[in-house]
Amino acid sequence: MLDFNQVKEKISSLLSDANRKFRQYTPESFSKEKKFINAIVCSLALITMADKKAETQEVLTSIDLIKEIDEITELEMTQEALELYEYHIETLSKALESPTKWVMAEAKILMEVAKIKVYSEYPPMIEALLNYVANSDGNLDPLETEMKDKIMKAIT
């Protein structure tokens, strides 16, 4: 006999996962502001996981930044941005089991970040955010510096 509550829970879970996966890609029709928001969130996830672990202080700093960035709040995208950040952190965490999976996940996210390359006003802002998050735990790891360089190369 079917338990409809379990079925509803499973459907809800699958729809939630599908919705989060769908939002990870930036449609070309997105406004430049939405592309910028996507690039910020992707960059924050990459710098958080650069040293192959999600440190509490870096996660908290990234979440606080997402909540405070004017472009995100003005477009009422705070919740979506937080969900996208969480999705990318989860994706990168799962990719740690294999160097190949890590490179693939990193490359996909960097491709999303690169979509703002045409907007020259954004790279300095993203660089400042990356520096802030990377230094938030009081330790600038060489892997964080390397990741920041990869992100900056993708957007400049």
Q: How many CB atoms lie within 10 A of CB 102?
A: 16
* Beta carbons of 63 and 123 less than 8 angstroms apart: no
pLDDT grade, residue 5 (50/70/90)? low
21 or 140, greater pLDDT? 140
Q: CB pairs under 8 A, 24+ apart, for 47-51?
A: 47/130, 47/133, 47/134, 47/144, 47/147, 47/148, 47/151, 48/89, 48/133, 49/89, 49/92, 49/93, 50/134, 50/141, 50/143, 50/144, 50/146, 50/147, 50/148, 51/141, 51/143, 51/144
Copy the structure tokens of residue 152: 């900056």
32-155 folds as TerB-like (1.10.3680)
**Six-digit token string for 64:** 């606080």
* Each residue's pLDDT tens digit, 63-79: 999 999 998 999 899 99
pLDDT at residue 101, rounded to an integer: 96
Mean pLDDT of 11-17: 61
User: What local confidence, expressed as pLDDT, does residue 14 receive?
Assistant: 58
* Average pLDDT value over all residues in the chain: 87
Residue type, 134: A
Look at residues 124, 110, 119 and name the one whose alpha carbon lies nearest to residue 154: 110
The set of residues, in sequence order, having a beta carbon less than 8 Å from that of 115 and lying 6+ positions away, is 26, 35, 38, 39
User: Quick one: pLDDT at residue 22?
Assistant: 45
Residue 71 structure tokens:
């472009």
